Amino acid sequence: MTTVSKGKKKFKEKLKDTYRILVIDVEDLKEVGNYQFTMARLYTLVIGFLLIFSVLLVSMIAFTPLKRFMPGYGDIEENHKFIELRKKITALEMDLEDQIVYTQGLQNMLSGQEIENLNLPESNGKSGDNADENKSSIVLSDQEVNESKFTRSLNNLYFVSPILGSISAPFDRLKNHYGVDILAAKGTAIKSITSGVVISSDFTVETGNTLAIQHPNNLISIYKHNSALLKNIGDKVSAGEAVAIIGNTGELTDGPHLHFELWYNGNAINPENFINFQ
């Protein structure tokens, strides 16, 4: 205990000891400066300097671009920026894909309209049966569609029924009826058969409120005579999502129903071959 007490006392005494630093000119040995200090004051100055330096250093790192040069800190910030940029790129890629689908849908739809509204040349004495035969050749026959590779692949897909009800008018190419008419209760919501992008949402004199959706695999679904349309051009829809309300709009209708069409590359296909409306 005596040794420890002497050691502490000796250290305290050293802190109080006075020291002097003399600055002498080497050439004539004259005293240039005389600085007197104690160890306690020296320790205080050193500690104060370190504290001020630490505060300045932390402030520079926290509030200036100098932090980017700190190991690890810059990497974390860059990772956040990379993640944000990646999210933006992904969103742009999705928008580009939707735009491609939308443009392709417009092209296919225009192609389908051209086929559907094509005026046949005069028969030049041909019978009415021959005229009907020429008209039916505009759109693929049921046999040709069923034998196509597309139709076989389509059979492996699942489609949501746009509406449940009884069919009042079936698909009939010879009568230029390129869809099915489905009866349902007033106010019933009409659903998208699968995911896609709305490529047409408008009113026409003949078909009333009409909606067209471009789906994957160059497939287009069309919904006519609606009382109201719930989607606009460019909207993304998912399978089973409500897109319209059943109605009786347009001249080519005699009561509330949905006229539903299914098209592929401008060719009408019978929806009953792929969708159960009951």
User: What is the CATH classification number for the domain harbouring 151?
Assistant: 2.70.70.10
Does 61 map to a domain? yes
pLDDT of residue 209: 95
Of 170, 130, 184, nearest to 261 (Cα)?
170
Within a domain: 243: yes
CA distance 246 to 256: 7
- pLDDT, tens digit (0-9, with 9 covering 90-100), for 147-169: 455 566 677 788 999 999 999 99
In contact, 212 and 197? CB cutoff 8 Å: no
Among 69-78, 111-120, 159-168, 252-261, which is the least confidently predicted range? 111-120
Q: Residues of the chain with pLDDT > 90: what percent?
A: 33
Q: 156 and 55, same structural domain?
A: no
The residues pairing with 260 across neighbouring beta strands, listed in sequence order, are 180, 223
Q: Establish if 92 belongs to a structural domain.
A: no
Q: DSSP H helical segments within the chain, as ranges?
A: 2-16, 39-63, 73-116, 128-136, 142-147, 149-154
Is pLDDT of 228 > 90?
yes
At residue 229, does pLDDT exceed 90? yes
User: Are 50 and 167 in a shared domain?
Assistant: no
Assess if residue 109 is contained within a domain: no
Range ranked top by mean pLDDT from 24-28, 85-89, 241-245, 251-255: 241-245
Separation between Cα atoms, residue 98 and residue 88, nearest integer Å? 15
Residues 55 and 148 reside in one and the same domain: no
Give the range among 11-20, 73-82, 129-138, 236-245 with minimum mean pLDDT. 129-138
Residues 179 and 165: beta-carbon distance below 8 Å: no
Do 191 and 62 lie in a common domain?
no
Alpha helices in 117-202 (DSSP H): 128-136, 142-147, 149-154
Q: How confident is the model at residue 2 (pLDDT cuts 50, 70, 90)?
A: low
Among 1-5, 15-19, 152-156, 260-264, name the most confident range: 260-264
pLDDT of residue 78: 57
> Residue 170: CB partners within 8 Å, gap ≥ 6?
177, 180, 270, 272
Residue 84 lies in a domain: no
Q: Which pTM was predicted?
A: 0.53
- Does 13 have pLDDT greater than 80? no
pLDDT at residue 198 tops 80: yes
Phi-psi region of 145 (alpha: psi -120 to 50; beta: other; left: phi over 0): alpha
Question: Is pLDDT of 37 > 50?
Answer: yes
Mean residue pLDDT across the chain = 77
| Range 203-235 burial, b when 16+ CB lie within 10 A, else e | eeeebbbbbbbbbeebbbbbbbbbbebbbeeeb
* Token output for 57: 């250093």
pLDDT classification of 124: cutoffs 50, 70, 90: very low
What is the identity of the amino acid at 100? I
Clarify whether residues 166 and 35 are in a common domain. no
pLDDT bin (cut points 50, 70, 90) of residue 196 is very high
The torsion angles phi and psi of 197, rounded to 5 degrees, stand at: -130, 135
What are the residues whose beta carbons fall under 8 Å from the beta carbon of 252, sequence distance 6 or more? 206, 207, 225, 259
What single string gives the DSSP state of each residue in 3-62?
HHHHHHHHHHHHHH-EEEEEEE-TTT--EEEEEEEEHHHHHHHHHHHHHHHHHHHHHHHH
Which residue segment(s) compose the domain that 160 sits in?
128-273
Nearest alpha carbon to residue 169 among 247, 261, 69: 261
Q: Are 193 and 269 in contact (CB under 8 A)?
A: no
Provide the number of structural domains found in the chain.
2
